[in-house]
Every structure is written in C-alpha cells, then in structure tokens.
Amino acid sequence: MALKQVRCVVQGRVQGVYFRASTEREAQRIGVSGWVRNRTDGGVEVVAEGDESELAALVAWVHRGPEGARVDGVEVTWGPFSGSFVSFSVVG
C-alpha cells in the first residue's frame, strides 16, 4: 500500500452542479481524506490523501464528475503523503 497525495484542478462547468458535494460523497465512499473547494477562476480544486489505487479511482471519477457537470480539463499533481487530513469535506 503506497500512501500518496493528489491535487486536481478541474475546469469546465463544475460550479453550481453539485460537484463539491458529489466529490465529497465519492471520496468518502472510496475511503480517502482531504477536501474540495470552489476556485475564484470558476474551477474546482480537490486535494486528497490515501492509498494510491484509491486516489486513482477518485481522479478517474473527477475526470467525469457528477451528472450535470461538464469537465473540460483536469490538472493532476501527485505528491507525498502528509497525514494532515482525518476526513474528507467541502471547504471554503
């Protein structure tokens, strides 16, 4: 089990379509911790930590998003596990 952190910046029609709430629910279902928030540029930012394979599942989901969203692009950055998060939540 390789613990990692991933940061995704999602662009498209991703605000006002329950993207944050849906991401929170999916992250909790998968079992990763971290947060999701709206960005001032109209995108959504996700930071999550956990097992690399679980994070990969979340990244794949983020590329689709919830029904009603239109994901035009996702910038994905992998990093080291920090252990900073105990749960997954919507912030901001």
Q: Which residue type is seen at 86?
A: V
Establish if 91 belongs to a structural domain.
Answer: no
60 confidence band (pLDDT: 50, 70, 90): very high
Q: Is the pLDDT of residue 3 over 90?
A: yes
Q: Is the pLDDT of residue 92 over 90?
A: no
- CATH number, domain of 24, equals 3.30.70.100
Establish if 89 belongs to a structural domain.
Answer: no
pLDDT of residue 63: 98
The pLDDT tens digits for 9-59 are 999 999 999 999 999 999 999 999 999 999 999 999 999 999 999 999 999
Which domain covers residue 53, as residue numbers?
Answer: 3-82
Establish if 9 belongs to a structural domain.
Answer: yes
Q: How far apart are the first and last CA of the chain?
A: 31
Split into its structural domains, the chain has a count of: 1
Establish if 31 belongs to a structural domain.
Answer: yes
Establish if 68 belongs to a structural domain.
Answer: yes
Where in the sequence numbering do the catalytic residues fall? 20, 38
Establish if 48 belongs to a structural domain.
Answer: yes
